[in-house]
């Protein structure tokens, strides 16, 4: 599911407001979704029938696919292939058009603030890039106590997650950033997890090792998925409990691609010596059961 909001930066909205104030001292600016109108959509690609829900500030778009279609969907989202035309009709018959764009190259951040989180720290404005793409910051608007505007030059490219500070004039507070988002690599669906439904998968470990034959007191097992960072977990198993299970949660885009199980076994002997073997690998596309035998561990 994707949340689509108007593609207007904070600076563009302030410029619109300033232009309206030249026509009226107290203009009221509403999003077209917030007023009484009808909306029709068209031009989705053949075979694509997303669920589109209108809200006051945008649209919620849900695209469903099976595992086999996940890669195709991701490629479409990387190349702007999932778009639709919108026609808004007001009660007086006036019409306006717009476009819904699902494109991993055009992630611009939340509607209210854009990609740059803005905060004040004493006499400084602190800006942090909160999207997965670089952002070119050209200026920062600052407002004094009377509302007078000063544009502070920045001329800085902020990498994803990067923070910078700008000194504010005395008595001023930060207003809004002026920025552009340069062309670059598309984000992935794994990074934009709101697009992707998760899939649960289990791996069964079957222990056929005779502890007494090999002077073992215990086995400790850890498992992880190579393609899913942070997935490592312990698997409970002992001589009486000969089967252990590891449950993993992974995005659909990982599930339908390579899935490599990595596991490590620590053996504690009757004398207390601990020997660790692995990480071993198993291709889960061939099956979700792994047998632990002495030939593997010796």
Give the residue with greater pLDDT, 53 vs 142.
142
Same domain, 291 and 248: yes
pLDDT of residue 191: 47
| Lowest-confidence region among 5-14, 179-188, 279-288 | 179-188
Q: Tell me how many domains the chain contains.
A: 3
Same domain, 226 and 249: yes
pLDDT of residue 47: 58
At residue 175, does pLDDT exceed 60? Answer: yes
71 pLDDT band, cuts 50/70/90, is low
Q: How far is 101 from 275, CA to CA, in rounded Å?
A: 55
189 pLDDT band, cuts 50/70/90, is low
| Lowest-confidence region among 87-96, 175-184, 186-195, 245-254 | 186-195
Same domain, 130 and 89: no
Q: How far is 178 from 11, CA to CA, in rounded Å?
A: 6
Give the residue with greater pLDDT, 275 vs 74.
275
Query: Is the backbone of residue 165 left (phi > 0), alpha (psi -120 to 50) or beta?
Result: beta
Is the four-CA dihedral 39, 34, 192, 253 of positive or negative sign? negative
pLDDT digits (tens, 9 = 90+) for 148-166: 899 999 999 999 999 999 9
At residue 288, does pLDDT exceed 80? Answer: yes
pLDDT of residue 252: 64
Same domain, 259 and 168: no
Same domain, 241 and 165: no
71: exposed, middle or buried (C-beta count within 10 Å: 0-12, 13-18, 19+)? middle
Same domain, 21 and 99: yes
Domain end: 194, 227, 243, which one? 194
- Region 61-79 average pLDDT: 71
Same domain, 138 and 236: no
Q: How far is 107 from 181, CA to CA, in rounded Å?
A: 9
At residue 195, does pLDDT exceed 50? Answer: no
80 pLDDT band, cuts 50/70/90, is low
Same domain, 6 and 101: yes
Domain end: 148, 167, 194, which one? 194
| Lowest-confidence region among 99-108, 235-244, 276-285 | 99-108
Give the residue with greater pLDDT, 45 vs 51.
51
Mean pLDDT for the chain overall: 85
At residue 196, does pLDDT exceed 60? Answer: no
Share of the chain above pLDDT 70, in %: 88
Domain range holding 149? 116-180
**CATH code: domain of residue 171:** 2.60.40
Under 8 Å between Cβ of 291 and 244:
no
Q: How far is 26 from 22, CA to CA, in rounded Å?
A: 10
Question: In a 3-state reduction of DSSP, which class is residue 295?
Answer: helix
Q: What is the pTM of this model?
A: 0.58
Domain end: 170, 194, 218, which one? 194
* CA-to-CA separations, 261 to 72, 209, 227, 233, in angstroms, rounded: 25, 20, 9, 12
At residue 194, does pLDDT exceed 60? Answer: no
| Lowest-confidence region among 56-70, 198-212, 260-274 | 56-70
């Amino acid at each position: 599911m994707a949340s689509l909001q108007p593609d207007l930066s904070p600076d563009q909205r302030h410029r619109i407001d300033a232009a309206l104030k030249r026509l009226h001292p107290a203009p009221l600016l509403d999003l077209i979704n917030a007023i009484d109108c009808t909306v029709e959509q068209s031009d989705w690609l053949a075979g694509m029938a997303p669920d589109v829900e209108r809200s006051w500030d945008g649209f919620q778009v849900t695209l469903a696919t099976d595992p086999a279609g996940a890669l195709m969907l991701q490629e479409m989202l990387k190349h702007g292939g999932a778009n639709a035309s919108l026609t808004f009709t007001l009660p007086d018959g006036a019409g306006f058009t717009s476009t819904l764009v699902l494109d991993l190259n055009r992630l611009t951040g939340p509607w209210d603030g854009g990609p740059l989180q803005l905060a004040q720290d004493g006499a400084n404005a602190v800006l942090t890039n909160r999207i997965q793409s670089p952002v070119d910051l050209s200026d920062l608007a600052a407002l004094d106590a009377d509302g007078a505007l000063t544009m502070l030059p920045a001329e800085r490219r902020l990498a994803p997650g990067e923070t910078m500070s700008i000194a504010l004039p005395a008595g001023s507070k930060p207003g809004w950033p002026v920025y552009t988002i340069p062309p670059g690599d598309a984000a992935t669906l794994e990074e934009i997890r709101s697009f992707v439904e998760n899939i649960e998968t289990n791996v069964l470990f079957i222990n056929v090792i005779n502890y007494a034959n090999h002077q073992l007191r215990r086995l400790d097992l850890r498992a992880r998925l190579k393609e899913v960072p942070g997935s490592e977990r312990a698997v409970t198993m002992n001589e009486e409990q000969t089967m252990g299970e590891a449950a993993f949660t992974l995005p659909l885009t990982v599930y339908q691609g390579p899935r490599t199980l990595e596991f490590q076994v620590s053996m504690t002997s009757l004398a207390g010596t601990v020997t660790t073997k692995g990480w071993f690998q198993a291709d889960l596309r061939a099956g979700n059961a792994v047998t632990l035998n002495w030939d593997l561990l010796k």
